[in-house]
Amino acid sequence: MRINDDEVGQRTSFNHHESHRSLSVNHLRRPHPIELRSQQAGRCLLKFDGYRILARIEGADVRLFTRNGHDWSAKMPRQVEALKALELDSAWLDGEMVVVDDQGVADFQALQNAFDTEHDERITYYLFDLPYLGGEDLRQLPLQARRATLARLLENTPSDLLKFSADFNEPVDSLLDSACRLKLEGLIGKRADSPYVGRRSSDWIKLKCKQRQEFVIVGYTDPKGSRNAFGALLLALHDTDSGQLRYAGKVGTGFSATTLDSLHARLKPLEVDKPALPKPPRGAEARGVHWLKPQLLAEVAYAQMTREGIVRHSVFHGLRDDKPATAIDLERAMPAKRAAQTPAEPLGSLRLTHPDRVVDASTGSTKRQVAEYYAQVADWLLPQLKDRPVALVRAPDGLGGELFFQKNAGQLHIPAVRSYSKAQAGQAAMVLNRADSLLGAVQMNMLELHTWNATDKDFDKPDRFVLDLDPDPALPWKAMLEATQLTLTLLDELGLKVFLKTSGGKGMHLVVPLTRRAGWDEVKDFSHALVEHMAGLFPDRLSAVSGPRNRVGRIFIDYLRNGKGATTVAAYSLRAREGLPVSVPIWREELTQLKGANQWHIGNLQARLAEVDDPWADMAKTRQSITVRMRKQLGIA
């Protein structure tokens, strides 16, 4: 399916307020004396067993989007009408679609059946956040301020299909105990002063009454002595180390008669001859199994998981159609903050010449301070250099002198440098795998490090591609954020996991890891097609053609870095610019909080490293390839 203009616009709007500039200043058709107030207490909300849905309201135009940006408005016309009745000129509302049973407990399978049978009158939209209102971006306001405003908006709603999700300021233990006794799924604890982020962050925690998890369905068994459509579903998760699917057990209970028939109809077309598991179950576990393409997700509750990763006492709760199956793994807590890494090699072992030479006159930074910086970030930086050809930007006379871009070791005296001839790599190349090599490059007046998209394991097969968003310098930072969100939306739609970093200059870098399969030309052609597709959808914002004339008022998405021998500045590298800014990996949740691509520099990066885990720690574990489906989605052969 080709991604069209409307589709990408809808998906982008899920993450960013696209029509911000066209909104009326008078955002409410009827006056509401709404006052935004900041409160500092922590709050717990009920964890709903439903579908997360974001509502976009533009007057009479109301759209409902899943977390992946799919437009589900047609599935819930009554909820759309209820939102229209709020008579808002413009807003974004965040909440959960839920169906409750006769005892008032949310029933996920009943919700799915309501979608399948078009009985949306049973669906209640529980609203818990308000990221935008009347053209104003409220995401940086405290949670309690946003919720207070949302509560006022819903005070006089005439529909029972819209409800405000109340919070509780009681001891967590007693709240969780009550929630579990009421057979609820659990609680969500949120900081009252936290900003709005579209994804999970360290400002909120999930407290479950029982283990619950999405699993990839990789097979099913025949029924045993009954008229059921099937017996049990075989489940799998993506291994966090290898990225491959691993067997996680079966689920054979929790199916209603309606679910059995409708689910079986969706399973049959996905049957394949061989399992999608590198290590499938054997013996009795595999006897009579119908193997499936790993495309469907099951929401499953279970009592425990064995050391081997097999679920016990599992119960089926429904299919998840609002998430892709490409990266489902075991749910874990958000990574804890850690102390800054200590340098792998002390600076004392390095003999610097001219250590007091000023490299950057604007800050007074010296060659010694540059060396100390690279020693301090070595544990973060070296994984980005490992086995990867690197080019150096050298400044023998500081930023005020001539800069040299050097791709081979030449006459440089760098310890333990690994050199490759043109015959080996197609061009001369060098690899710096050790801390003493890194600091030796600093002794040779290196400021920047630029790396290939391949390693010396196979120079002819790239293991990533990079999209460098390079703006017209006159554009505001907001335009860069919008362009990044647009590009992320398309990559999400293609099913590609992406890692972000600031450029250290004006732009953003989106890095997409790949399994080494395709050659340079194939990867470059794919990235070129992707960029041309984006520029075709948004010609007034984005350009696929390099050169200053072609990016006036626009952002050039540079795909040219994906050719053999082309390089991109390495993560955690300094930039040879005034202030010595740094190219820094970020969590996707941090994107909207960025103030610029150069906000971290030689003087303040250590404070950041002391506060966060490495956002790129899992990049090497990511397994994905450019597929025929992705090419078709972009309209290329």
State mean pLDDT over 521-549: 94
How far apart are the C-alpha atoms of 637 and 627, rounded to whole Å?
A: 11
Question: What integer pLDDT is reported at residue 256 of this predicted model?
Answer: 79
Question: What integer pLDDT is reported at residue 343 of this predicted model?
Answer: 38
Please answer whether residues 575 and 490 qualify as being in contact, where contact means their C-beta atoms are separated by less than 8 angstroms: no
Tokens of 173: 């233990």
Q: Which fold has domain 464-568+575-633?
A: DNA primase, PRIM domain (3.90.920)
How far apart are the C-alpha atoms of 315 and 308, rounded to whole Å?
A: 19
Please answer whether residues 215 and 329 qualify as being in contact, where contact means their C-beta atoms are separated by less than 8 angstroms: no
The label of the residue with tokens 């397994």 reads 623
State mean pLDDT over 288-296: 93
Residues in Cβ contact with 322 at an 8 Å cutoff, skipping those fewer than 6 apart: 51, 52, 66, 67, 68, 70
> Catalytic residue among 47, 190, 250, 506, which?
47
Question: What integer pLDDT is reported at residue 594 of this predicted model?
Answer: 93
Question: What integer pLDDT is reported at residue 536 of this predicted model?
Answer: 93
Tens digits of per-residue pLDDT, 244-260? 899 999 998 888 777 88
Question: What integer pLDDT is reported at residue 559 of this predicted model?
Answer: 95
Domain locations in the chain as residue ranges:
13-172+186-193, 211-319, 356-451, 464-568+575-633
Look at residue 614 and tell me whether its pLDDT is greater than 60: yes
What is the pLDDT confidence band of residue 158, given thresholds at 50, 70 and 90?
confident
Tens digits of per-residue pLDDT, 104-123? 666 777 787 777 777 788 89
Mean pLDDT of the chain: 81
Helix or strand run (H / E) with residue 525: helix 520-537
Gyration radius of the chain over CA positions: 27
Question: What integer pLDDT is reported at residue 301 of this predicted model?
Answer: 83
211-319 CATH: 2.40.50.140
How long is the chain?
Answer: 637
What is the pLDDT confidence band of residue 19, given thresholds at 50, 70 and 90?
very low
3 state SS for 367-428:
HHHHHHHHHHCHHHHHHHHCCCCEEEEECCCCCCCCCEEECCCCCCCCCCCEEECHHHHCCC
Tens digits of per-residue pLDDT, 470-496? 999 999 999 999 999 999 999 999 999
Residues in Cβ contact with 335 at an 8 Å cutoff, skipping those fewer than 6 apart: 613, 617
Tens digits of per-residue pLDDT, 236-246? 998 766 678 99
Question: What integer pLDDT is reported at residue 77 of this predicted model?
Answer: 93
What is the pLDDT confidence band of residue 458, given thresholds at 50, 70 and 90?
very high
| Maximum mean pLDDT: which of 132-146, 297-311, 392-406 | 392-406
Question: What integer pLDDT is reported at residue 258 of this predicted model?
Answer: 77
State mean pLDDT over 449-467: 96
414 backbone dihedrals φ, ψ, rounded to 5°? -115, 125
Tens digits of per-residue pLDDT, 386-439? 999 999 999 999 999 999 999 988 878 899 999 998 878 888 899 999 998 999
26 backbone dihedrals φ, ψ, rounded to 5°? -85, 85
Look at residue 208 and tell me whether its pLDDT is greater than 80: no
186 backbone dihedrals φ, ψ, rounded to 5°? 150, -155
The label of the residue with tokens 């996707």 reads 588
Tokens of 475: 């554009």
Question: What integer pLDDT is reported at residue 227 of this predicted model?
Answer: 60
Residue 208 known to be catalytic: no
Tens digits of per-residue pLDDT, 319-339? 877 666 665 665 544 443 443
State mean pLDDT over 10-35: 31
How far apart are the C-alpha atoms of 20 and 135, rounded to whole Å?
A: 5
Minimum mean pLDDT range among 30-34, 78-82, 564-568, 595-599: 30-34
Look at residue 11 and tell me whether its pLDDT is greater than 70: no
Question: What integer pLDDT is reported at residue 207 of this predicted model?
Answer: 54
Look at residue 465 and tell me whether its pLDDT is greater than 80: yes
Question: What integer pLDDT is reported at residue 286 of this predicted model?
Answer: 87
Amino acid at 208: K
Look at residue 172 and tell me whether its pLDDT is greater than 50: no
State mean pLDDT over 213-231: 84
Strands 124-133 and 162-164: parallel
Tens digits of per-residue pLDDT, 550-596? 889 999 999 999 999 999 999 999 999 999 999 999 999 899 889 99
What top-level class would CATH report for the domain 13-172+186-193? alpha beta
Question: What integer pLDDT is reported at residue 184 of this predicted model?
Answer: 56
333 backbone dihedrals φ, ψ, rounded to 5°? -65, 155
447 backbone dihedrals φ, ψ, rounded to 5°? -115, -45
Question: What integer pLDDT is reported at residue 352 of this predicted model?
Answer: 86
What is the pLDDT confidence band of residue 294, given thresholds at 50, 70 and 90?
very high
- Top pLDDT among 118 and 618 is at 618
pTM of the model: 0.51
State mean pLDDT over 350-367: 89
Question: What integer pLDDT is reported at residue 34 of this predicted model?
Answer: 30
